[in-house]
Amino acid sequence: MKYIRLIFLTLCLVAWAGFPALASTSETDIDTARPATIAVLPFVMHTPETHSHIQQGVMTMLNTRLAWPDQVQVIPDGKFQYSG
């Protein structure tokens, strides 16, 4: 009886995990047509000297390197509100 219950639960888990594969292709096509949107959040450099030019350069580099036309859209600095 113990093994029957285990087999039943395993089959239910496998059936439940396979359920998203039954989604219509029209729903998945809509998601792939829209580019992902990301933002590079500000960060603090813990150094004895002030290196604000390096900090700004790293932010610019990350924004340009992460951008991918028609795939990934990077939100420019100052266009989002960060409360942290």
User: For 2-53, what is each residue's pLDDT tens digit?
Assistant: 677 777 777 766 676 665 555 545 555 555 678 899 988 888 888 888 888 8
Q: Which domain, by its residues, includes 11? A: 2-75
Q: How many structural domains comprise the chain?
A: 1
Q: Which helix (H) or strand (E) holds 54?
A: helix 52-66
User: Would residue 49 count as lying in a domain?
Assistant: yes
| pLDDT at residue 54, as a whole number | 87
| pLDDT at residue 32, as a whole number | 63
Name which residue leads in pLDDT, 59 or 21. 59
Q: How many CA atoms lie within 13 A of 83 on its CB side?
A: 0
User: Would residue 81 count as lying in a domain?
Assistant: no
User: Would residue 83 count as lying in a domain?
Assistant: no
Task: Record the pTM.
Answer: 0.53
User: Would residue 51 count as lying in a domain?
Assistant: yes
Q: How many helices (H) and strands (E) does the chain have?
A: 3, 2
